[in-house]
Structure 1
Amino acid sequence: MDALCGSDPARIAGHRLLGRLGAGGMGVVYLARTPGGALVALKVIQGEYADDTGFRDRFRREVEVARRVTSRWSVGLADADPDAAEPWLATEFVPGPSLAEAVALHGPLPSHGLRVLGARLAEALDDLHAAGLVHRDLKPGNVLLAPDGPRLIDFGIARAPEDTSLTATGVVVGTPGYLAPEQAGGRDVPVVGPAGDVFSLGCVLVYAATGRAPFGGGPVDALLYRTVHDFPDTDGVPEDVAGVVGRCLEKDPRHRPTAAEVHHALADGGRAAEGPVRWLAEPVLRLIAERSAHALALPGIDDTEVSEGAVGDDAAGSGGERVAPGAGHADPADADGAPAGGPGSTTGRRRFLVLAGGAALVVAGGGTALWAALDREGSAPAGHPRRSPCTLALHADLSGGDKATGLAQERGLRLAVERFNARRNRPYTLAVRAEDDGGDPRAALRVAKTLAADPTVLAVVGPTTDTTAEASLVAYDTALVPVVAVSPGSIALALQGYRSFLHARVPDSLLAFYLNVHLRGSAGSRRVGIVDDRAADDHAWEISSTLSKVLHRDGHPQVPEVVSALRSDFRPPVDALLAAGADSVVFAGYPDRAALIAKVLHDRRFAGARVSAHPLLGERFLTAAGRAAEGWVAVAPAADPALMPAGAAFTAAHRRRFGAVPARYSVEAYDVTNMLLAGLERLGTARPTRAALLAAVRGTPYQGITKKFAFRAKTGEFVIGADNGVYLWRVERGAFRCDGPAPVSVPS
């Protein structure tokens, strides 16, 4: 759970607000205390959406549905006012993690716990169906865990089966990967009924048993296609549950059991479901206990007091307000897809700085207020530790699997800042702050919240990977911290609509166009074999599906091959490609498994082109593949500055400063840091703000060593120019060497 923002009210309809469980474009979910002292999750819709008659009607229906839900294993409605200026509803607060969080933190549920989970969720669905409703969005994030059993939450899109108002426009309703084939549009059915919830329950049980969804991950269209056409991946589901789960996952809704039948099968006549209370693993029970203790320690129903004290001091002052860390209640979708506190949330509170004139400035969540408290020389108010007024931060993997890339970006950033600080006419001295997430998404969220809460941090370079970026960008966006990424490639990062995110590279999906040109041009391939490795999820899908579409558009023969994430023997798929006449192979996946296919191709004495994308760059592939790596080509948005006219000075400076030639992504980090510095200079003030810097960078192109960096002023979308920053790297004598810019057209 996060601290309240300065714009949050102290109370709503007599409910005292204690913290934020989730926030999004349409509203906020608060932890609140009722006038009687009970804790609730209070969901509030912003006024501009409430002004829309249709939206208010939908919210009113949500309240009506919540009133009809009376199951013991569903959260109950405490109170609501759908007619308020900002409509709200309050539901029972459960201080436990969601199933998604528990599995991510502590692994799959034990067999007995899985049966209890399935039996009680089935009972909740049976009660819901008996009330004439279907949930439509059962998923791990909508299941909370308590010591006595699970709780089903989020009835925002629950409806009567005959109510097709949500699907009248053809929009998919629910969460891809957990919705039924008929919801995905794969079946011609008039309504989505209770059988759809049973299918979703089967998906949830697979996740709880294995830690993965039965139809994998990736883009929405891929998930919908697999849901309709592919068999579910149920490997690892215990035998005593597998039969029930398999029946739940039948494609035809007529062949699925009812929720009551699932409950009976898993409860074994009621005995298993009413078995020992200790149905969860010890670490999960400890997590629930910790959050329960935090909830009990939350303030009573007295008004919040404003305390005087040093900004950033985490000790509670007189009348200080504490909030519980990580208290999971509302699914992220409860507030228009905005995440709740989730794993790694840290204790926080509303912090106030009381100045001599009596004005209170909120410091948490942004830097503007602190600038107002600093004098012209940058001195801090009395009692506040002196800090550098301007900091550029690095958020990177400095100790995990991608630490080479993270270290390279840190060196590029530091070189740019040191060059800036060496100038005599600089308006101020910039500080550098480097934070390591180790490649862990949970740690990435903690890093993002820490940097966003530091008012001196004006902008961030990073994170290093797709997964850490996905985990942290919401935290940065909430505080409007400009974030510039040069190594993550997922197109989803750009499509999420983050206000402060600048994706300073060509996305992975577009790399397929350069692969196509290389294969049909210099490689001379007549039939392209494409390996989509499901172990690489979104990345593999973006590369393989786009390349397949481009080849199909141009009428060029191709041989697609999808490899299960569980497969470690690549001989069958390679033999299938060769038997189909493929004279080149594109591997869409990560380096460790690329090494496996490289060895098989080497053993088969395959002489055709072997190509992949940027994840191959680095020692992991070279070490794992050995001699089989020779000749492989990677298409990557990473330059070798030594080959560029403007890169000689950077290469020399890097060698002098760090005693080594620049590693990949070092010069890109150097470029975007200088882009941020140029934006600061254009502002012409010793007290820049995050918002002003973001506008300055968006509004003016910057010519770097590697390419021109330009972003659309309104959307922040990266503008791809002639110098696109995409290069070919080839393995020669056991090392990757840059062949130069990737060609953009096939020779005639």
Structure 2
Amino acid sequence: MTEPLLATDPARIAGHRLLGRLGAGGMGVVYLARSPGGTLVALKVIQAEYAEDGAFRERFRREADAARRTDSPWVAGLVDAGPGAVQPWLATVFVPGPSLAEAIAAHGPLPVRSLRVLGARLAEALRELHAAGLVHRDVKPGNVLLAPDGPRLIDFGVARGPEDTSLTSTGVVVGTPGYLPPEQAGGGVEPVPAGDVFSLGCVLAHAATGRPPFGTGAADGLLYRTAHDAPDLEGLPAELAEVVGRCLAKEPARRPTADDLADLLGRPTTGTPMPDPRVAWRADADGTAVPEERATDDGWLPEPLVRLIAERSAASLALPGVDDTEVDAEGKAGGPLRRRFLLLGVGAAAVAVGGGAALWAALSDGDGGTGGASASGKPVRTIGLHADLSGDQRTVGRAQERGLRLAVAEFNADARRPFTLAVRTVDDGGDPGRSRAAAAELVADRSVLAVIGATTDATTLASLATYDAASLPLIAVAPGGSALGAAGSRSFLQARVTDTVLPFYLDVYLRGTAGSRSVGIIDDRAADAYAWEISSTLTRIRQKGRLPAVPKVVSALRSDFGPALDAFAEGGADSVVFAGYHDRAALLARELTGRGFRGARTAAEGVLDARFLSAAGDAAEGWVIVATVMDSAAASAAPGAKAFSAAHRERYGAPPEPYAVETYDVARMVAGRLVALGAGKAARPGLATALRSAGYEGITKKFAFDAKTGTLVIDGTGVHLWKVVGGRFAYQGVAPFQVSA
């Protein structure tokens, strides 16, 4: 966060007027400064106590030399430097935009066009760097800044030539784990340009999916996965998959050069030509910062990021005239400069050091989410997303994040909005232990007024007490366990029918559409409570209606379903219901096909997973799934779904996945409740009460909640049929809740 100058900070360094502190790093301090010619710069200075350290001074000298030797419009260019000064310093062009890391965290993955421009321009920057005989060695999202005309590569603190071994020690890893090439994971290896290409591939994968390709966690684990595991490229747009995959080849010789990569990604095919981005900012006669050349926006970034950059630019560059720093009798910096930076905001700090606190977190004043304000002056309300973004259910977590971000972007696009919505995400990796810590993180952020999540029953249960103690509303979109509503949480809402409701729809389908007389029901103990809720409820329904059923329990230790299928044949079952998850459903599907079974094969939500299709192969054909998610792109989808699907394709370059539109609905519901409450009542407990007591009609269903349990009131909406047709899940429409006469 931007801070005023300290009493110990000088007013000027080498003729540069210091305006404030942008951040402090391992070597020193980064200031926002005005050069003698009026240009705004990011001025990096080694602290006095480190200036005598030869290693620090040498690294600083190399950074300045690397910047001088690179003449690329896609690098934050060097303005001036004094590596030999008593306190070494260097000044680079000030870029008023967020880092790529911050942009992804705030607004999610980039669309295909943005990815192409990002990759091509960074490849061009690396091409110039490599042509100068240098290797960057730390290409990562935090070292990429976004501007209206293209990205900028920054931070050459560890850049060096392959022949320079003066600062390399055996076993020392230089760079950022998770983005380092595998050949550098052990340290002590001479850097090569192909290593930068690997790092850029990691950056592109992260920008396209919202996830680092080798996950997160401890450095040793990241280094091991980088060296031995395949990258996680799920969700990467098909047209970029091949080139990113080549960048991430384990062997350096198999990767494209930076020059080849720039050609492969190509220049944008739409929009006006990009202007020369080497635009310096200067102060005009009244002290207002203006660009020396007016750059035009060619639309390479999605609209939310364009607005973010505009807000950051306005907040960071609208600087009045600067007086000399005043020091009072107590030695504290004061006067107009201090007052101005208390109002400046966070733009400069976040961008000049390639990262920093998120915009909305920095703007929050800690009053429960009602005090922060955006650069436009509107108050800020934050919706948290607690999801599995890196574990077994990351596809669901990604869909939820995209649905939430689309709803927030749509809300913020309305100039009449009374406040600005923001998003904060936490990833529990599907681990209940991590879920509690993730919940605590969102609870501690007082700007967060509601949370959508978590992704699974187990992670939701693990976090309920944390959210409840803080009266922070937690709205579950994907979890369906009945235990969630029975936990007694005052702030929990379950925005889908429970798993115990789905067997009613399965029974209606089997008796009606499928024309089944006797049903074989498999309770797969490997799926524990989920399987029991589906199988036991369906068995009771059949018994109550005096309808034939053959229930069988299969041990989690068994890898075949032969005995259960023998019992079905003996009992005359002409259809099968599988209560379990996708992996063992595939085993059952292949066994049924091998036996020539021709009856209906059905399951509930746990089998609606692309991994079932790939594992079962042709044996998946014809399976019918009852689930609480719709296909918003289907012709039979509800009104409004097609518009959502079109927006999703435009933003993410792909059709919506299950749980995206459901999360979109919930986010819009939360926004509507916040608007209705008004500024004076926008607090966590009041919002939880309002959500439980008021209804909302979304695209996917009508939302109304039991005032005591927070579970969704059943009204016949919100349950859908899917069928495997031609090797894919084909949406069949809303599931009937009664058998037609």
Q: TM-score normalized by structure 2?
A: 0.49
Greater C-alpha Rg: 2
Q: TM-score normalized by structure 1?
A: 0.48
